[in-house]
Chains A and B, each alone.
Chain A
């Protein structure tokens, strides 16, 4: 098992290097530069432009800039935002818990609903339940998130008044960010009603963010179940006279879970993409909104280091997924 983990970790190094190049390159491929965007309609003289560019270190050649970036990364320095002038890592750590909290809620909703729906649809293949749930999943998968979020806000918050419109907690409550996770902080604060307020603020954004992963998980579970249920060992189990619940729950589901776990792992990337829009609509102070603001301002250090940190996280999650296979299926770790 240790060798298995080590070999996986070793593989991360070249991947990580590749990501630094992509993160560094992507933001520089975009036209427009930060100095011009700061100046706006006002314009900036060529001398002042050169001066500011040099001050930021962007007058050097691209390979030199990249080596600078890499060198500083190795010392744990992710650079400072051009806009707020604060260390990128500090900003990331301040905003990340909000995204993580939202992402976790979304993936839990998606899994808790998606897996049972997929299993049921597979068992009752061709039934009305199968058809309705899979059609709904297709619609969910193609849902334009911005429109969907706004629709839910207008309906549930605007017309029915059931949920708050946006934000993480009612402005009435105010306590220090002990952990950055609003659910935990609101409990720690001991203020009456704070936890409930935090939960109510999480509902709509979690649903919006969960929509696409939920659809994917439900469809993936259904097809994995169908495949497994045609296997010999399932037929054998049935032939032995094993109860249906045990056949499905133990023999089929456990084997069908491997591709499903992979899918759930891969949804982390989808979640990050969805977080950009979801956080913007719901004024959710997380890293999705932070990245999109930084891209539009060409805040190079934030974009490149932010991308890198997000990629590192996705890699960690994928590693965890790989390790989970080992738990589900011992043959994988032996190999």
Chain B
């Protein structure tokens, strides 16, 4: 009943805009239904595209089209000498949205910031479990519980966050969707009305679009926020038409049923390029696909053996056959679009003869190994099975007998992290915040080589890990860059992975759409789009 009344009001609101002759409605054929509209408890990009990006803002924001951090709801900030105290000056005059059950009586202020972080971090906070079973996985996985010592209100427009240790990526971390600022006043209203779960159903934020209504698995409707503190959107209404199948999305785009779609099938790219009614934006993705050896098990504990295997696999063939050319062969664990990418590093040459000789030199003969191929398609890996088959064929030429293994996805993720695991694992990563730490620390450090980490090579190189630690507490970007560049040299030399590729991301759209900016983080945001008449 509640939802109905929400939508009834929304109807009247929309009816007005629908009948205003010039109303511009932009339709996005999104891929998946949002899990909910509170960005904090979720981790899926599709959920953030529907919640964090249109409806909310954060203290810091990623500058459009980049991973650079710029002021958001915080106008400016100061960092203490030791890098543990961040004092944020908040933007004044920022209005929260309103809906039929809530009209804000005050502007955004420090209370909202404190509420937004504390509800995630404090287990005894009344909003920590506002829906039974809710948990804050991003907050936890970005190590915020260990990192944040305190968060204090200095005055209405000043907030101080104190960290337990210096953390250079902190400003990028709080630009991530989980750190979206929600209205404390709205939360109080909901609490008084006994409808706390509406924080997740009917979101109120400060973002460029107001949430209007959601019909599960079908349509989400938003309306331009006329009071937006930033540059107001050019379109009046934003609609997400949820369309899970890529081929159907493309048909809808062609038929004019939507203006823009995510994730086209690689096989359709050429046809889209050839279609005069469509255009295609492309950008190197902030991702990496890799094959991780188990560096704790003989003979894969020998870097020379790993290096030899790496030289036996034809990377270009994988890029051509599996990615259909829509990828860049990877030589480093971080993508070339990321700062500190070490382009001076040369990839291991594809040289089966040399590889064979190296294996013989290390006394390795008749090697049999497993290669694990994941059962699902991911942005960094369109077809792991096919990749594994190509590797199998190449390795057989240097006398290595490969058995291909696969498990159900959840099982695959779990079993691939079991220490003593047999075989090398195909997997990948898409960046969360554009910081190299988010790749190198998460995937390759000694800290993450243990149980529950994501270092599936179980590779622990003290020198490498120390460089990451130093970089993390260094504020100067130039110094950090130098440290990460050095870390990549060690990585290449030690070869814990066979780096496969950085896949290209494509966004097809109608030819009359302008102003769409692709995000290196893979976000879809629409405050800058426009439709030509």
The interface of chain A, by Cβ under 8 A from chain B, is: 30-34, 36-49, 52, 55-56, 80, 82-86, 91, 94-95, 150, 153-154, 157-158, 161, 164-168, 171-172, 174-177, 280-283, 285-286, 289-290, 293, 298
* Interface 0/1 of B238-257, CB less than 8 Å to A: 01011111011001101101
- In the bound complex, residues from chain A placing their C-beta under 8 Å from that of B243 are 166-167, 283
- B410 and A298: CB pair below 8 A? yes
Complex alpha-carbon distance, A174 and B13, angstroms: 11
- A49 and B452: CB pair below 8 A? yes
- A41 and B429: CB pair below 8 A? yes
- In the bound complex, residues from chain B placing their C-beta under 8 Å from that of A158 are 251, 254-255
B429 smallest CB distance to A (angstroms): 6
**With known contacts A31-B408, A172-B18, A281–B248 Cβ distance under 8 A:** yes
- B133 and A176: CB pair below 8 A? no
Q: List 25 contacting pairs A-B, 8 Å CB cutoff, sorted by A.
A: A31-B407, A32-B411, A32-B414, A41-B428, A41-B429, A42-B442, A43-B413, A46-B452, A56-B133, A80-B133, A85-B36, A85-B132, A150-B247, A154-B251, A158-B251, A166-B251, A174-B11, A174-B14, A176-B4, A176-B7, A177-B7, A281-B248, A285-B217, A289-B217, A293-B33
- In the bound complex, residues from chain B placing their C-beta under 8 Å from that of A166 are 243, 248, 251-252, 257
The reply to whether the CB of B204 lies closer than 8 angstroms to some CB of chain A is no
The reply to whether the CB of B8 lies closer than 8 angstroms to some CB of chain A is yes
- B252 and A165: CB pair below 8 A? yes
- In the bound complex, residues from chain B placing their C-beta under 8 Å from that of A48 are 140, 452
- In the bound complex, residues from chain B placing their C-beta under 8 Å from that of A43 are 413, 417, 448, 452-454
Complex alpha-carbon distance, A150 and B219, angstroms: 21
- B36 and A84: CB pair below 8 A? yes
- In the bound complex, residues from chain A placing their C-beta under 8 Å from that of B137 are 38-39
* Interface 0/1 of B402-431, CB less than 8 Å to A: 000001111101100100000000011100
- A39 and B36: CB pair below 8 A? no
Q: Which of B22-48 contact A (CB under 8 A)?
A: 25, 27, 33, 35-36, 41, 43
The reply to whether the CB of B131 lies closer than 8 angstroms to some CB of chain A is yes
* Interface 0/1 of B283-324, CB less than 8 Å to A: 000000000000000000000000000000000000000000
**With known contacts A49-B452, A158-B255, A280–B410 Cβ distance under 8 A:** no
With A41-B428, A283-B244 known, 13 other A-B pairs at CB within 8 A are A31-B410, A37-B409, A43-B452, A49-B452, A55-B135, A85-B41, A85-B134, A158-B251, A164-B255, A167-B243, A176-B8, A280-B245, A281-B248
Q: Chain A: which residue is nearest B427 at the CB level?
A: A41
B404 smallest CB distance to A (angstroms): 18
Complex alpha-carbon distance, A40 and B35, angstroms: 15
- In the bound complex, residues from chain B placing their C-beta under 8 Å from that of A45 are 451-453
- In the bound complex, residues from chain A placing their C-beta under 8 Å from that of B53 are none
The reply to whether the CB of B197 lies closer than 8 angstroms to some CB of chain A is yes
Complex alpha-carbon distance, A135 and B27, angstroms: 43
- In the bound complex, residues from chain B placing their C-beta under 8 Å from that of A293 are 33
Q: Chain A: which residue is nearest B452 at the CB level?
A: A45
- A165 and B251: CB pair below 8 A? yes
Complex alpha-carbon distance, A142 and B297, angstroms: 50
Number of interface residues, chain B, beta carbon within 8 A: 60
- In the bound complex, residues from chain A placing their C-beta under 8 Å from that of B219 are 167, 171
Complex alpha-carbon distance, A80 and B132, angstroms: 9
- A285 and B241: CB pair below 8 A? no
Complex alpha-carbon distance, A117 and B527, angstroms: 55
- B248 and A150: CB pair below 8 A? yes
The reply to whether the CB of B502 lies closer than 8 angstroms to some CB of chain A is no
Interface on chain B toward A: helix, strand, loop, or mixed SS?
mixed
* Interface 0/1 of B216-238, CB less than 8 Å to A: 11110100000000000000000
- A171 and B241: CB pair below 8 A? yes
Q: Chain B: which residue is nearest A173 at the CB level?
A: B18
- B133 and A82: CB pair below 8 A? yes
Tell me which of A157, A176, A289 contacts B11 (CB under 8 A). A176
The reply to whether the CB of B141 lies closer than 8 angstroms to some CB of chain A is yes
- In the bound complex, residues from chain B placing their C-beta under 8 Å from that of A168 are 218
- B411 and A31: CB pair below 8 A? yes
The reply to whether the CB of B466 lies closer than 8 angstroms to some CB of chain A is no
- B408 and A30: CB pair below 8 A? yes
Complex alpha-carbon distance, A172 and B41, angstroms: 32
Complex alpha-carbon distance, A304 and B409, angstroms: 20
Q: Chain A: which residue is nearest B27 at the CB level?
A: A171
**With known contacts A31-B408, A85-B200, A174-B18, A94–B251 Cβ distance under 8 A:** no
- In the bound complex, residues from chain B placing their C-beta under 8 Å from that of A177 are 4, 7, 215
Complex alpha-carbon distance, A161 and B256, angstroms: 10
Q: Chain B: which residue is nearest A189 at the CB level?
A: B11
Q: Chain B: which residue is nearest A43 at the CB level?
A: B454
- B239 and A171: CB pair below 8 A? yes
B482 smallest CB distance to A (angstroms): 28
- In the bound complex, residues from chain A placing their C-beta under 8 Å from that of B134 are 85
A220 smallest CB distance to B (angstroms): 32
- In the bound complex, residues from chain B placing their C-beta under 8 Å from that of A290 are 216-217
Complex alpha-carbon distance, A150 and B27, angstroms: 22
- In the bound complex, residues from chain B placing their C-beta under 8 Å from that of A80 are 131-133
- In the bound complex, residues from chain A placing their C-beta under 8 Å from that of B135 are 52, 55
A152 smallest CB distance to B (angstroms): 11
**With known contacts A38-B137, A40-B43, A282–B248 Cβ distance under 8 A:** yes
- B35 and A83: CB pair below 8 A? yes
- A36 and B452: CB pair below 8 A? no
Q: Chain B: which residue is nearest A150 at the CB level?
A: B247
A178 smallest CB distance to B (angstroms): 8
- In the bound complex, residues from chain B placing their C-beta under 8 Å from that of A164 are 255, 257
- B221 and A40: CB pair below 8 A? no
Tell me which of B140, B221, B429 contacts A174 (CB under 8 A). B221
B229 smallest CB distance to A (angstroms): 28
Tell me which of B35, B248, B414 contacts A165 (CB under 8 A). B248
A48 smallest CB distance to B (angstroms): 7
Complex alpha-carbon distance, A258 and B233, angstroms: 62
- B241 and A167: CB pair below 8 A? yes
- In the bound complex, residues from chain B placing their C-beta under 8 Å from that of A154 are 251
- In the bound complex, residues from chain B placing their C-beta under 8 Å from that of A82 are 133
- In the bound complex, residues from chain B placing their C-beta under 8 Å from that of A41 are 413, 427-429, 454
- In the bound complex, residues from chain A placing their C-beta under 8 Å from that of B200 are 85
* Interface 0/1 of B126-139, CB less than 8 Å to A: 00000111110100
Complex alpha-carbon distance, A23 and B217, angstroms: 23
Complex alpha-carbon distance, A285 and B14, angstroms: 22
- A283 and B452: CB pair below 8 A? no
Complex alpha-carbon distance, A41 and B454, angstroms: 7
Complex alpha-carbon distance, A48 and B138, angstroms: 13
Tell me which of A42, A94, A171, A174 contacts B454 (CB under 8 A). A42
